[in-house]
């Protein structure tokens, strides 16, 4: 039970980070929808539609990695409890923990890239 403390904290961090990512995803989806509503004959704003592929690229990567990290961490907690139940050594627990942290780090890195893209000049339009 005491060995489940670290994975439980990581799982809580992943859940909080995933909530932030999903909020950001919602904002990007709303922006894509508003760009799709621009009529093709609106010459003043139709060029803004060219930003849609870049916005779609920004939506998925960090969230997917964070969800994989949460899944790996949940499996780590399950392995810990099952090994404690049957009084076995927690086989694979260090590897699962390392994979979960690696995936979380990748998610944070991709989120950093997404934030950098969001602050670029291309996003400052009206």
Residue 8's domain spans which residues? 2-123
What's the rounded mean pLDDT across residues 37-65?
A: 83
How far from chain centre, in Å, is Cα 40? Answer: 33
Query: How many C-beta neighbours within 10 Å does residue 55 have?
Result: 17
What's the rounded mean pLDDT across residues 19-24?
A: 91
Count up the domains in the chain and report the number: 1
**Rounded to whole angstroms, how far apart are CA atoms 56 and 28?**
8
What's the rounded mean pLDDT across residues 42-50?
A: 84
pTM of the model: 0.79
Contact 23, 75 (CB under 8 A): no
Most distant pair of Cα atoms in the chain: their distance: 70
Residue 126 has pLDDT above 60, yes or no: no
- Looking at residue 47, what is its pLDDT? 83
What's the rounded mean pLDDT across residues 109-124?
A: 77
Higher-pLDDT residue of 59 and 88 is 88
């Amino acid at each position: 039970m005491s060995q489940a403390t670290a994975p439980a904290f990581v799982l809580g961090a992943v859940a909080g980070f995933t909530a932030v990512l999903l909020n950001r995803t919602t904002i990007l989806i709303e922006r894509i929808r508003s760009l799709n509503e621009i009529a093709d004959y609106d010459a003043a704003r139709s060029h803004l539609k060219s930003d849609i592929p870049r916005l779609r690229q920004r939506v998925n990567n960090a969230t997917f990695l964070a969800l994989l990290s949460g899944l790996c961490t949940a499996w780590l907690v399950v392995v810990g409890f099952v090994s404690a139940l049957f009084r076995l050594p927690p086989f694979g627990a260090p590897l699962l923990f390392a994979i979960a942290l690696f995936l979380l780090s990748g998610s944070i890195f991709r989120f950093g890239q997404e934030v950098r893209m969001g602050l670029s000049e291309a996003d400052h339009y009206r």
